[in-house]
Amino acid sequence: LPCRRLPFGARATHDEQAAAKAAAATADSGAPTIFDKIINKEIPSSIVYEDEKVLAFRDINPQAPVHVLVIPKVRDGLTELAKAEARHGEILGQLLYAARIVAEKEGILDGFRVVINSGPSACQSVYHLHLHVLGGRQMNWPPG
């Protein structure tokens, strides 16, 4: 099935569903992504948190009042979570802890969601592993 992407709060119209169907699901090619340019500051982003290993910046198409992406500065084969190996354990833990730091900075420690889309069936669109940190509104379950 095609990956449906809707603006926050919107319901799919017939046209939007048709457009979503027309858009082929992206697959993991291993090519550099737009996130490399964000890491290198070649294109601007709204940085929320940064340390030696991790960068967190606001999603350009927010799905909640708070929507921050947390990424490893070095991709090291982590195009998607499906590609994770035992050697990635340390950076995976650092990313998850950075998500908690972001939630605290954004004032949403009382309730927030961390999402990783892995692969076309999960609507992953950028193949550089990233955690979505979402909050600032009631998050519903199940996700779409």
The nearest distance, CB 51 to ligand TR5, in angstroms, is: 19
The nearest distance, CB 16 to ligand TR5, in angstroms, is: 16
> Which residues in the 105-134 window bind ligand TR5 by CB under 6 A?
117, 123-126
Dihedrals phi, psi of 58, to nearest 5 degrees: -70, 140
Q: Could you give the string, one character per residue 45-64, with x where binding to ligand TR5 holds by CB under 6 A and - elsewhere?
A: x-------------xxx---
Residue 28 tokens read as: 């993991």
Distance between CA atoms of 27 and 107, rounded to whole angstroms?
Answer: 35
Identify which of residues 37 and 53 has a Cβ nearer to ligand TR5 in the complex: 37
The nearest distance, CB 33 to ligand TR5, in angstroms, is: 8
130 Cβ neighbours under 8 A, 6+ residues apart: 35, 69, 70, 71, 116
Distance between CA atoms of 35 and 26, rounded to whole angstroms?
Answer: 15
Among this protein's residues, is 88 annotated catalytic?
A: no
Distance between CA atoms of 136 and 120, rounded to whole angstroms?
Answer: 27
Ramachandran region of residue 28, left (φ > 0), alpha (ψ -120 to 50) or beta? beta
The catalytic residue among 14, 67, 88, 130 is 130
> How many residues interact with ligand TR5 (rule CB under 6 A)?
12
Identify which of residues 94 and 125 has a Cβ nearer to ligand TR5 in the complex: 125
The nearest distance, CB 59 to ligand TR5, in angstroms, is: 5
Distance between CA atoms of 120 and 143, rounded to whole angstroms?
Answer: 16
Residue found by looking up tokens 């606001």 in the block: 58
Please identify every residue annotated as catalytic. Answer: 130
What residue ranges bind ligand TR5 (CB under 6 A)?
A: 34, 43, 45, 59-61, 69, 117, 123-126
